[in-house]
Structure 1
Amino acid sequence: MHAVTPGAVEDLTVEFAGEEYAVAPDAVFTVGREGDLTIDDNLFLHRHFLTIRNVDGLWLLSNVGSRLSATVTDSGGRVQAWLAPGARLPLVFASTSVIFSAGPTTYELTIHAAEPTFRETQPEADDDGLSTIGDVPLTHSQRVMILALAEPLLRREGTGMSELPTSAQAAERIGWTLTRFNRKLDNVCDKLDRIGVPGMRGGVRSYATNRRVRLVEHAIAARLVTRQDLPLLDEELHAGTGPED
């Protein structure tokens, strides 16, 4: 990526569920249960959760909530940040995805900048022709497990909201026992926790739910699974319980 020389304040738009919202450079744009972008009447969602404002020519995304966090990534999935309550990030890319969960519902919106501070360039490939930026090695069954959880988000068109399945529903989707599914979920969350992905662990009461939604947020943002991987779900279901990996 390379920097673009700052100039006049660029146009910024927010896309959600097929609608686009213009962000005025002299005002604070609010996202939440109420605000300029009213996401949902979900009571798990903060009344005011995210704000976008321009400070001295730089667009800033802030988390003004007290409990929820958001995953923020560039359009290529090469840069990812976890926006915790009270934190803020500069919006420097042409397209920035924001993914967050409130209760069982996961939301995604995209922020578009007409004149981004940084423009994306293709990363150099390794000798084998493959890029390893942000790469997390997954076994086939680990990828299938993530897909079973992320399927609603991957199948919907564009940005919007999706209800995540429970572990029992996801296990049934691919013909696994709940015990096997939870074992794979433990393995993947431990793997991501070891490399520093936040939110993979939590309190005793909230751990099961929080790690599931956080795993989906990270997997979508980091492109660990994509829409093109969805046929693996039906293949796994029709194959029956195969060997462990």
Structure 2
Amino acid sequence: MDTVPPPSDTPVGVTVEFAGEYFTLAPGERFTIGREGDLTLDDNRFLHRHFLSIEDAGGLWWLVNIGSRLSATVTDTEGRVQAQLAPGARLPIVFAATTVVFSAGPTTYELSVHTEQPAFRENVPSLDDDGLSTIGAVPLTVSQKLLILALAEPVLRREGTGMSELPSSAKAAERLGWTLTRFNRKLDNVCDKLDRQGVPGLRGGVSASATNRRVRLVEHAIASRLVVREDLAMLDDPELVGERSR
């Protein structure tokens, strides 16, 4: 990743994209996102009235978490760089296109922020000796990938940015033809694997913690491109039916 010349004292404009709508911000503007604000996402009681803001300071645009409970996953469009934006935290918007994914209750939201003058530009990652890129690579079994796909299916089927309702564990298990016990065991396995790789928010738990873990798994999978829309064919591939019982 190369640095371009330092930004000027006054940043150029940025554009926020959500569900096919575009909002262009001029320097000096402050843009709020939440249940209310400049971008009103949804009448979702789990969502803060004002959750995120975009504002300029010191020659850069910043994404700021002005909420008190929810966090957002922020990544470049290729999923190579990922950060958690906790309540009270802020991140500079340094990529030409930045993806922001977060959840409130069972609903997952995705928006993107585009800047005309990024502070960084991305290089194509170098390849290992075997010709494979290992940046962000997480080896998954077929059943682990199927589990993630079953949970992330509504998000992946959506065109572009927007919001999606995540299925319950029971619905996702039914989609795969698994028992709920088998699904939960596989969910434990994949969450443990990602937790060992440093992905936060995937520790086991019950009640609300279990729901948050499932939501966090989808957030990470979407933001890091662990699963993509083209993978959805696996859910209906008869050749994988045998894999589902493993």
Aligned-partner Cα distance in 2 for 1:209–1:242: 23
- What is the match of residue 95 of structure 2? 93
Seen in structure 2, the aligned counterparts of structure 1 residues 126 and 86 have a Cα distance that, compared at 3 Å, is same
For residues 69-88 of structure 1, give each alpha carbon's deviation from its aligned partner in whole angstroms, at most 9, with x where no partner exists.
Answer: 11000011100001111111
For residues 200-221 of structure 1, give each alpha carbon's deviation from its aligned partner in whole angstroms, at most 9, with x where no partner exists.
Answer: 1266432210000000000011
Q: 156-165 or 123-132: which moved more?
A: 123-132
Please list, as runs of the form range in 1=range in 2, the aligned pairs for 1:151-170 lying within 5 A after superposition: 151-170=153-172
Deviation at residue 236 of structure 1 after TM alignment? 5.8
Corresponding letter in the other structure for 2:3: A
Q: 3-12 or 64-73: which moved more?
A: 3-12
Corresponding letter in the other structure for 1:42: N
Conserved? CA contact 2:80–2:136, under 8 Å: yes
Q: TM-score, normalised by structure 1?
A: 0.96
* Partner residue of 1:145 out of 124, 147, 165: 147
Conserved? CA contact 1:174–1:237, under 8 Å: no
Conserved? CA contact 1:13–1:113, under 8 Å: yes
Aligned-partner Cα distance in 2 for 1:110–1:65: 19
Q: 232-241 or 8-17: which moved more?
A: 232-241
Identical aligned residues as a percent: 70
- Whether 1:174 and 2:169 are equivalent positions in the alignment is no
Unaligned stretches of 5+ residues in structure 2? none
For residues 205-241 of structure 1, give each alpha carbon's deviation from its aligned partner in whole angstroms, at most 9, with x where no partner exists.
Answer: 3221000000000001111111111010012698267
Conserved? CA contact 1:51–1:62, under 8 Å: yes
Conserved? CA contact 1:104–1:163, under 8 Å: yes
Corresponding letter in the other structure for 1:67: R
Corresponding letter in the other structure for 2:132: L
- What is the match of residue 71 of structure 1? 73
Please list, as runs of the form range in 1=range in 2, the aligned pairs for 1:90-239 lying within 5 A after superposition: 90-201=92-203, 204-235=206-237, 239=241
Seen in structure 2, the aligned counterparts of structure 1 residues 236 and 48 have a Cα distance that, compared at 3 Å, is farther
- What is the match of residue 54 of structure 1? 56
Helix, strand or coil at the partner of 1:106: strand
Aligned-partner Cα distance in 2 for 1:229–1:175: 18
For residues 104-158 of structure 1, give each alpha carbon's deviation from its aligned partner in whole angstroms, at most 9, with x where no partner exists.
Answer: 1000000001110001110101111110001111111000000000000000000
Unaligned stretches of 5+ residues in structure 1? none
- What is the match of residue 25 of structure 1? 27
